[in-house]
Chains A and B, each alone.
Chain A
């Protein structure tokens, strides 16, 4: 499955949100890739995520492939929509 996520938290995907995103992605069996501006990376890797330089307002394309794809998509969407718990 594929979904678009718009990053709304102030800091973008800085260390802490990137870590939360990678940890959440790692809790699923599916392969998860993220794409932004022609670059892509492994969603289970904090380094890949931070390497995309994602800022507030950017939209990520997330491609999920595997047995728990739907759950993974929902969980990542919730994390982003909740702004990673930032104020």
Chain B
């Protein structure tokens, strides 16, 4: 057995026999007599019409089998076939280079593909494949060929062009391997949409694969195992079976309650960025929103969004789940998210500079408008207001005072709002975690933001790969701070949740429940697996685990222990 490394383009495992896609090699005459030019142009126009018809059929077939979105590429191809720039280049080759229609099409396609390949975006570079595909289609039609092919097993190809993949019967193909392509190439997108495991970008290794070779395509890690031994195959078959069971199980968890074996409810919520995300929150089986980032209203704007505009957005989110908890975070701008209408001086350390609540307390008019909008929206549901980046009690008290002021204004103006809106803070600065007991007296809840908490606790920029080993939420100092915050909140009778990446990591779930968190807010995709974990937990047991983990010395020790614990669960 030997291994080929590639790019993991579509998750899943497939076992089967290699079948190379036939690269159509066409011989055609390239040069024609100048007097033939009109006839060659006619041939080109006829082929163009035939190509349009083929693409029409492909578009319909793909829409029916794979959905409208996958079919859009053929609509684009149809446009390209008749594109004035493309046609101009083709006709120019016929007129000025005595090219046959085939040669003119091929050369024109290659020239345009080279132009796309020279652009600086990966997406555009891969569009070179589209135009080459069109060139091949036209050449085939000019030579009188047909499009149908049948492939089964693991399909190996240089690259899978859209028309290749559309002509495939996907029920017969269990995996893809390609020499070219990246995560956003057609073959990868199609493989993901069809749920077919794929490894792309293996380069010249492709030539070492022979038709009939047994291979395992591991689309999780981007590996192809060639000629695997029986025991390896058996091992992977078991993994396939487990994956299928897991998928079925997670699909069934969806609308079951998020409750531990001993009856404790752990609220599972989602992080969202715009009101449009609410559909996904509901579909994920979540129970509300643990973090609504309001920046979308402010970034990309040349002026401050109006109060009305904001009220409308906040109400849209609240009204989508009127009886559920919706935590809306006030503006977290500054640092790397500059607001065009505020400007501001460049800072040497933006992450440690004037951002979030610090910025809001300087631009109080902007902040107060947001607070007024939030209060006005509160009548639409169960609003929780959350202040970001709080480091001191003074900051919290000033923010709360401004909220009071906004409320007073609304009262005077006779505008309705809920007077009992819950107010909390995001705990993401170690300073806040250290005085959690003091802050707890002033809030209704805490939500721990692990991404920044890790960055500030470990003093490691999370974008800097050289210090990536420090950017780990399983680092003991981070885990201990989370424990401190939870303890302080419990003592004061306030709830504590988490809205960072850690909240959606099923490995961390037993630890977080054990530390006393009662709300976890995550990406919608993570909800089913985390919920399934929670449904297998006993809170007493998790508390014992948490105590034990708090005494461990390194991040790897903690991870190792959590992996052992994870083995006790079904998945």
Which one, B76, B115, B116, B131, contacts A19 given CB within 8 A? Answer: B76
Q: Is the CB of B119 within 8 A of A45?
A: no
**Contacting residues of chain A (1-41) with chain B, CB-CB under 8 angstroms:** 8, 14-16, 18-19, 22-23, 41
B86 located at the interface, meaning its Cβ lies under 8 Å from any Cβ of chain A in the complex = yes
Query: Which B residues are CB-close (under 8 A) to A23?
Result: 79
Closest to B72 in A: A16
A60 located at the interface, meaning its Cβ lies under 8 Å from any Cβ of chain B in the complex = no
Instruction: Give chain A nearest CB distance to B186 CB in angstroms.
Output: 11
B interface, by DSSP: helix, strand, loop or mixed? helix
Q: Is the CB of A44 within 8 A of B84?
A: yes
Stretch at the interface among B120-128, B259-267, B394-402, B547-555: B120-128
Closest to B125 in A: A53
Q: Is the CB of A14 within 8 A of B123?
A: yes
Query: Which B residues are CB-close (under 8 A) to A47?
Result: 80, 83, 85-86, 112, 131
Closest to A16 in B: B72
Q: Is the CB of B75 within 8 A of A19?
A: yes
CA distance A46 to B116 in the complex (A): 12
Which one, A16, A44, A45, A87, contacts B76 given CB within 8 A? Answer: A16
A59 located at the interface, meaning its Cβ lies under 8 Å from any Cβ of chain B in the complex = no
Mark contacts of B190-203 with chain A using CB atoms, 8 A cut-off: 1 yes-contact digit, 0 otherwise. Answer: 00000000000000
Q: Is the CB of A51 within 8 A of B116?
A: yes
Query: Which A residues are CB-close (under 8 A) to B85?
Result: 41-42, 45, 47-48, 51
Query: Which A residues are CB-close (under 8 A) to B121?
Result: 53, 55
> Which range contains the number of A residues in contact with the other chain?
20 to 34
Closest to A53 in B: B119
Mark contacts of B129-161 with chain A using CB atoms, 8 A cut-off: 1 yes-contact digit, 0 otherwise. Answer: 011000000000000000000000000000000
Mark contacts of B67-82 with chain A using CB atoms, 8 A cut-off: 1 yes-contact digit, 0 otherwise. Answer: 0000011011001100
Q: Is the CB of B76 within 8 A of A53?
A: no
Instruction: Give chain A nearest CB distance to B24 CB in angstroms.
Output: 23
Query: Which B residues are CB-close (under 8 A) to A79?
Result: none
Query: Which B residues are CB-close (under 8 A) to A44?
Result: 84
Closest to A49 in B: B85
* A47-B86, A47-B112, A51-B119 known; A15 vs B72 contact (CB < 8 Å): yes
CA distance A14 to B86 in the complex (A): 17
Query: Which A residues are CB-close (under 8 A) to B116?
Result: 50-51
Instruction: Give chain B nearest CB distance to A80 CB in angstroms.
Output: 15
Query: Which B residues are CB-close (under 8 A) to A18?
Result: 76
Instruction: Give chain B nearest CB distance to A31 CB in angstroms.
Output: 11
CA distance A32 to B91 in the complex (A): 21
Instruction: Give chain A nearest CB distance to B86 CB in angstroms.
Output: 6
Instruction: Give chain B nearest CB distance to A1 CB in angstroms.
Output: 21
14 A-B pairs (CB sep. < 8 Å): A15-B127, A16-B72, A18-B76, A19-B75, A19-B76, A42-B85, A45-B84, A46-B80, A46-B83, A47-B83, A47-B131, A48-B84, A50-B116, A53-B119
Given contacts A15-B127, A51-B116, A53-B120, 8 further A-B contacts (CB under 8 A): A46-B79, A47-B80, A47-B86, A47-B112, A51-B85, A51-B115, A53-B124, A55-B121
- Identify the 6 closest CB pairs spanning chains A and B, nearest first: A45-B85, A53-B119, A15-B76, A47-B85, A48-B85, A45-B84
Chain B residues at the A interface, C-beta cutoff of 8 Å: 72-73, 75-76, 79-80, 83-86, 112, 115-116, 119-121, 123-124, 127, 130-131, 274, 276, 300
